Amino acid sequence: MSKPTVQPKAQTDQCKVLDGVRIVELARWQAAPRASMILRDMGAEVIKLEWRKGGDLRNSGPFVGGMSVQFAAYNRGKKSITVDTRHPKGKELFFELIRVSDAVLENYRPGTVENMGFGYENLCAVNPGIILASVSGFGQYGPYRDRQCFDPIIQAMSGIGHQTGRGFDQPIMAEGPIMDRTAALHIAIGILGALRHRDRTGEGQWIEVAMLDGGITLEEVALAMCYDTGTNDFKRGGTFLQCKDGWVSTGAARAGMWERMLKVMGYGDLADDPEYAAPMFATDKAEIRMELLHLWCEERPVKEVEDALVAADIPVGRAMSIPEVLEDKHLWEREVMMEAELEDPDGNANGRKILVPGPSIIKFSKTPTTAGPIPKYGEHNRDIFGGLLGLDEDDLNGLLEEGVIT
């Protein structure tokens, strides 16, 4: 089937839920940029402020056709401006932009934006309704406040590594940046809440999300059980089951599912036994029936197991490799990923395509999300400084000569 493609400059005329919202992004790497991209897909105008070409992920691999895959994944659809905010005229431009914006999103270490002169009080002085959204590793207060942080650090300190590695001799690191993603979702939700509050009251505010706090939310049940029992015996019910030619995962958590599972496996007599047919965590026979399930799967290919359990309305999924995921038609029909055309420095298609996230996975029936193109470095300087802030050509050329914009 044909693959969905990111539309170039033109966007749909349909209204979106965040039309009219303008967000200034002072952010690097993943957590905050992923959050603002979600909001951009919902209609917000996101203006990414870049200081220097190598200051973000633009120069971080891996690369496809000269484009950083990471930069493309977290920044498509945004507007890129380049301004040196250390320069007095750069600071002035920044605050002029704040006057006409709704939110500022940053993910520096606590205290950094204050040292830059862009703290919440400074922003409020020019725009009392502004929302400042801050993402950091450990939060704006607490013993770890000033420590450097990246996603793997939070996987270690939240307990996720040990929980994932149970049964092994060491903690196991998740392959994807799950802590960046968790923080991105929480700060995006926070911005939406702050916008709603401002709609009602006219009042802006400062919101913050710590990546470690987000990591803790993934272990709430395990933490509660350990708090109560003093042990770390709680285990989630999910597991991978080996088949003849691969692996599957299944879960029979609800009433009736294990009854159907046992019948599919040929244990109709056990299916009539309430102890064996009980939901997950509700029987002492759980280990016995799981052993039966393991043996049943080991004797069959993945497709036979999957088809049988789907027919019995039991949750099941093949453990797919990344190449297999790319071949899955469901991914393409849902537009979870899309192709984007790459361009040369002159703006002409260079014949290469890169895979980027599709529009926000939130599907609106009346206000659909869209995926925009990958911005070039400083591509929107004239659009923002000229069109939005009203600078003329002489002003822009002067700023270029002084190195305020590049």
Hey, which residues are catalytic here?
180
> Looking up tokens 């750069």, which residue turns up?
90
Return the structure tokens found at 255.
């009433």
Give the whole-angstrom CA distance, residue 79 versus residue 378. Answer: 8
The DSSP H or E segment spanning 103 is: strand 103-106
Q: Which residues of 108-138 are buried (b: 16+ CB within 10 A; e: fewer)?
A: bebeebeebebbbebbbeebeebbbbbbbbb
Peptide bond into 357 cis (omega under 30): no
The DSSP H or E segment spanning 183 is: helix 178-201
Query: Which region holds residue 47: left if phi is over 0, alpha if psi is between -120 and 50, else beta?
Result: beta
Greatest pairwise CA separation for the chain in angstroms: 86
Give the whole-angstrom CA distance, residue 63 versus residue 71. Answer: 9
Peptide bond into 62 cis (omega under 30): yes
Closest of 136, 124, 125, 135 to residue 198, by C-alpha: 124
Q: Which residues contact 287 (CB under 8 A, 6 or more apart)?
A: none
The DSSP H or E segment spanning 25 is: strand 22-26
83: helix, coil or strand?
strand
